[in-house]
Structure 1
Amino acid sequence: MSLHLIEKFYHCPYCGEWVSVLVDPSADAQELIEDCEVCCRPVSFSIQVTDEDEVEMQARREDD
């Protein structure tokens, strides 16, 4: 079984830079925290995968 990841870009809520994150589209709803590649601060993600396999993602500060 191969794992297919989707690269999504987000605007870091701390430093304002555009950064990418890899998303696993096999799970319908996900919550995860990853450090920004630029400023290294923790970004919290809410991810939804639609029935059409589109990935909707919100990035926010961990303390929000």
Structure 2
Amino acid sequence: MDYMIVQFCKGCMDYVLGVEEPTIEFTVPVCICEVDMEDCDNLERNGKIEYNERVTARGTVQLDD
């Protein structure tokens, strides 16, 4: 499986981790809300998810090849 670390703002992080079976397609490391991360004031310093360890444990993650 490909390995990627994707960073979310806190609002999107809460959404991702709070949904029982999220299906998230990671194409670029941006939040679900698509706010430019440089302009996002909700970004947590520790807001990185190793998707294959934490997100897939709660749902399905698909990567475009």
TM over 0.5: no
TM-score, normalised by the number of residues in structure 1: 0.28
Q: Which has the larger radius of gyration?
A: 1
**Larger RCO (alpha carbons 8 Å, 6+ apart):** 2
Please identify which structure carries the higher strand content. 1
Please identify which structure carries the higher helix content. 2
TM-score, normalised by the number of residues in structure 2: 0.27
